[in-house]
Structure 1
């Protein structure tokens, strides 16, 4: 009888502890990004240009999204940081096309990638939510013979049922990021400017 009573108390205590632990666990406030690298064609004539790439996050806020749950604001940030994401993307893009990467002192061309927007705005109703994602970059190329500036970006809207989740926001920003990365890799104007102004 004592053994059965002890087992019941143990089971009840375990159940209560599990419920309390689950209630205390909040969703992560960090969204993780790992952009893909599309296939591209290596052009050996691009190896005459040595490019130094600098990326700056010029957004007014460091969050990539936020939403309200039970009256509390939940801001979300990116990992890696947004400037690191686009530094890696641009360097991989240039390298895959045959451009050499170098330090500022060794380069004959300098590139500044300015992140103007990287945010998912969340709108929630009773039965549906809407996520408006916007990513906007300004890319400035400067060489000894001149300079060139181009903007690359995307906006998209995703909708879903009921309340929004971190996974919904992650999926929306991942899709927007994929669009921008594809745009960077498909772009010919930046490569042409590097070749034109580097020598």
Structure 2
């Protein structure tokens, strides 16, 4: 009798564990990892650059959608300001600039995150994901200033309802396009050299 009771209890615990695992919700965080820059270092650069990043978006989430009658808001990891700070610093270092503090730099570079969002529209049988990332990179030096705008967008449609994996894919492709644009750009580096001294 004891053996039957233990077996029944063990079976109930295992069954409840399996059922709860199947009911787990998706995480509310999407992770972004930038590729390293491919530029070869220019050792002739002499400017020391101070880099800051500002998040100018109206909402902190990067996407939201309705699932099972509940509004799910997704956030980014790492935070977008940390992410683009890292990207811009890696880019400038790969192009030969040194990163410094505000009091010992020749130029200031500010990255403004104006938009980073995936809009999800869902119907009964279809969903659409429209992602858009918009940045403004400002260079401020003693002899002037310069602004470079970088934008990218993607659209994806699918059957039934959107999931985090689809949103991650579309927003990730848009993010990678923006990162590649930052790495390929020479206008910001030229502006630093022009306005720094």
TM-score (norm 1): 0.93
Match of 1:15 in 2: 15
How far apart, CA to CA, are the structure 1 residues paired with 2:85 and 2:108? Answer: 13
Q: State the distance in 1 between where 2:191 and 2:9 align.
A: 74
Runs of 5+ unmatched residues, structure 1? none
Distance 1:12 1:41, change over 3 A: same
TM norm structure 2: 0.94
What are the equivalent positions in structure 2 for 1:1-199 lying under 5 Å apart? 3-4=3-4, 6-23=6-23, 25-46=24-45, 48-199=46-197
Larger mean Cα displacement after TM superposition, 61-70 or 157-166: 157-166
CA distance, structure 2, for counterparts of residue 159 and residue 63 of structure 1: 21
Deviation at 1:39, TM superposition (A): 0.8
Contact 2:51/2:110 (8 A) holds in 1: yes
After TM superposition, give the deviation of residue 61 of structure 1 in Å: 0.5
Distance 2:173 2:78 in 1: 17
- Please report how far the alpha carbon of residue 9 of structure 1 lies from its aligned counterpart in structure 2 after TM superposition: 4.8
Consecutive unaligned residues in structure 2, runs of 5 or more: none
Q: Describe the superposition over 1:22-63 as per-residue Cα deviations: whole angstroms up to 9, x where unpaired.
A: 32x2211111111112311211222x1110000000101000
Counterpart CA distance in 1 for 2:10 and 2:36 is: 53
In the TM superposition, residue 121 of structure 1 has moved relative to its aligned partner by 0.4
Moved more, 161-170 or 180-189: 161-170
